[in-house]
Amino acid sequence: MTPAPSALFLIGGRCSGKSTVGAVLARLLALPLRDTDLMVEEEAGRDITAVVREEGWPGFRRRESRALARAAQAGGVVACGGGIVLAEENRVLMRASGLVFYLAAPVQSLCERMAGSKNLSARPSLTGIDPLAEIAAVMAEREALYRGCAHHVLDATRTAEQTARAVALIRHRAGADQNIFKVEML
C-alpha cells in the first residue's frame, strides 16, 4: 500500500471553514493541526491586522509562504490562509507535499458566514471595500487558482464533521493506514 500523503492542505476563501474543518479533521485522524494564519501571528508576535498595517500585504504574504513551507515539511492537517494560492510557489509546494482540498462554497454562503462571524473586525480588508462585498470580488479573482491547485474540490456548505470525513475518506483511498478510524459513508 502507498504511504499516506504527509500533509492535508485545506484551501478556500474566507469563511469557507478551513480552520474549523481542520480542527475536526486533525482530531478525527489524530494528526497535528497547523494553521498558517496562526503560525504567521506566532512568528511575528502580533496579529495579522498589525502585520499587514506594519509590513503591508507583501510582508504578510512573505511570512505566509514561510509558514506554509514549515507546515508542509512538518506534515499533518494544514489550514491555509485564503490568499495562500496567490503565490505560484505555494501552489506548487502544496501539490508536491500532500493532498490539497478546496473547500468550495457559493459566495452567498461565505457572505452569510462572514456576517455572522464574531471575529469580522479581526480580518483585515484585502481591498478596502466593505468586507461582505469584498468576498465576491476576491473569489472571482481566486476561484481558478483554488481549483487549479486542488487535488479535490469539496462542498463546504456541509457541516465541518461531514467535510472532515470526506477528506479523511479521500486520504484513506489515497493509501492511508486502514486502521486509523471507521469512515461512515456520507
State which H helix or E strand residue 94 sits in.
helix 88-97
Grid coordinates representing 127 are 481591498
For the chain, helix (H) and strand (E) counts, in that order, are 7, 5
Rounded mean pLDDT, 57-84: 97
Work out the pLDDT band at 22, boundaries 50, 70, 90. Answer: very high
CATH architecture of the domain 7-173 equals: 3-Layer(aba) Sandwich (3.40)
Q: Convert the pLDDT of each residue in 121-168 to its tens digit.
A: 555 555 666 767 788 888 999 999 999 999 999 999 999 999 999 999
At residue 180, the pLDDT reads: 40
Contact 153, 132 (CB under 8 A): no
At residue 186, the pLDDT reads: 34
Is residue 3 predicted with pLDDT exceeding 80?
A: no
Rounded (10°) CA dihedral 79, 4, 165, 14: 20
58/12 Cα distance (integer angstroms)? 20
Q: Where are the domains of the chain?
A: 7-173
Q: Quick check: helix, strand or coil at residue 150?
A: coil
